[in-house]
Amino acid sequence: MPQKIFIHRFHCLNNYGSAMMGLVVLENLRRIYGNDTQFFFDSNGFSGIDEINAELSRPVRLQHYALPDPVTSRFKWVRSYQKRKYIFTAPEIRPFDLVVVLGGDDLSEYYTDKIYRDLLRYWRWSKNTRLVLLGQSIGPFERWRNRMVMRLFFRNIPIYARDPWTVEYLKKEFGLHKNVFPSTDLAFADLPLQNDRERETRTLQTYGLTPDTYATFVISGLQGKYYTPDRDVYFSRWREFMQMALQQAGNDFRIVLLAHTFPPHANEAALIRAFVNELPGKLRQHLVAITDKIGPTAARHILGNGRFTLTGRMHAAVSTFQMGKPAVSLAYSAKYEGVLGGNLGRNDLIIWADEPSLWHSGEISRRVEHTIQYLHRHYERLTGNIRTKAGEQKKLIENLFARWNY
């Protein structure tokens, strides 16, 4: 039974999406292995251990762990030797009985072309301790090095894919049939404190919110990379999104702007403040801006109690669906099609928004308006289907940990 477990790629709580996944893993592995198990995470210094434990049902034994630099000598031939030795001995991972590589879409080319470096690292680790890739969207790969490493070195590493697209891609492209298992995004599970009704009520009261009388908008800080490099155009379209949502819902309706990520990921609190500063007074009357770091549980309570969510962050959509409400996503990668389209069957609520021309021409506003109208017309049918599908995803995670044998 593992006594020391390293949760890799769980850095802090400043990205609510990865924070939710990390909390689900910590909560379940503590339950499986017991309270004496030691957990380690590669902290980036933006969240303390007490802050993380405050989001769990009970504290875990959690410690920071900084992966050491294998190359230290100032002599070239010594550095060469160190690199070669490091490849085969993996001293940085030897202290751990189990390494869990936390999922997401880090193993895709949306963020960097050089995925093969991480893939080789995980292969090397797997030769020296037990390792599992959990809740992953992997690919698509265009670079030959990434494709070669995946094909040659990943036939024996257990991979739990978080969407059917990833399963089929890894099987078809790389012949990984025996070690790839269908699963889902870990954030579809209940968060450890999600069902604390007093906490939920307190969060809503703090911001003067009543269930189903508002929509939550998550303005992504990835604006320049995936949507449009023009901040003015970006803001103008989000103003239009607000106006059309209010026109369709009535005068008593409100818009909540929720910051979902904070430095070092993206400073969406600052983005929201800049956006609000440019709003006309008429729109501000209907606005609640949440720029504080309220934590993943409170964020889920905000998202899940609104009538719907419009978001550029996928995990804000996951939280909304998880609590049985519809979310309209401004998508930019295959993960949306896999996690939301494949797992939930909600391609009808995905708007592909990764072309600047859509934002400059105003076409993105027409698509958003059409989708929100569709959502209102079919709201009861949609919410009923969402509750059923989200329950199925939650059950998949429960079954995953019930059969856990690492």
Q: Are 66 and 157 found together in one domain?
A: yes
SS3 279: coil
Contacts of 116 (CB under 8 A, 6+ apart): 143, 145, 146, 148, 149
Q: Which residues pair with 261 in a beta bridge?
A: 15
Which helix (H) or strand (E) is 302 found in, with range?
A: helix 296-305
Q: Are 52 and 139 found together in one domain?
A: yes
Condensed to tens digits (0 to 9), the pLDDT of residues 355-370 reads: 999 999 999 999 999 9
Q: Are 129 and 32 found together in one domain?
A: yes
The answer to whether 309 and 327 have CB atoms below 8 angstroms apart is yes
Largest CA distance in the chain: 72
Q: Are 269 and 145 found together in one domain?
A: no
Condensed to tens digits (0 to 9), the pLDDT of residues 140-174 reads: 999 999 999 999 999 999 999 999 999 999 999 99
Q: Are 267 and 378 found together in one domain?
A: yes
Q: How far apart are CA 29 and CA 4, in angstroms?
A: 11
Query: Which residue has better confidence, 13 or 47?
Result: 13
Q: Are 63 and 163 found together in one domain?
A: yes
> Residue 113: what pLDDT?
86
Q: How far apart are CA 88 and CA 95, in angstroms?
A: 15
> Residue 352: what pLDDT?
97
Residue 372's domain comprises 197-393
> Residue 74: what pLDDT?
63
Q: How far apart are CA 358 and CA 352, in angstroms?
A: 9
Domain count, the chain: 2
CA distances from 215 to 173, 190, 255, 304 (A): 40, 22, 5, 10
State the pTM of this model: 0.94
Q: Are 238 and 105 found together in one domain?
A: no
Q: How far apart are CA 56 and CA 54, in angstroms?
A: 6
Q: Are 184 and 239 found together in one domain?
A: no
> Residue 18: what pLDDT?
95
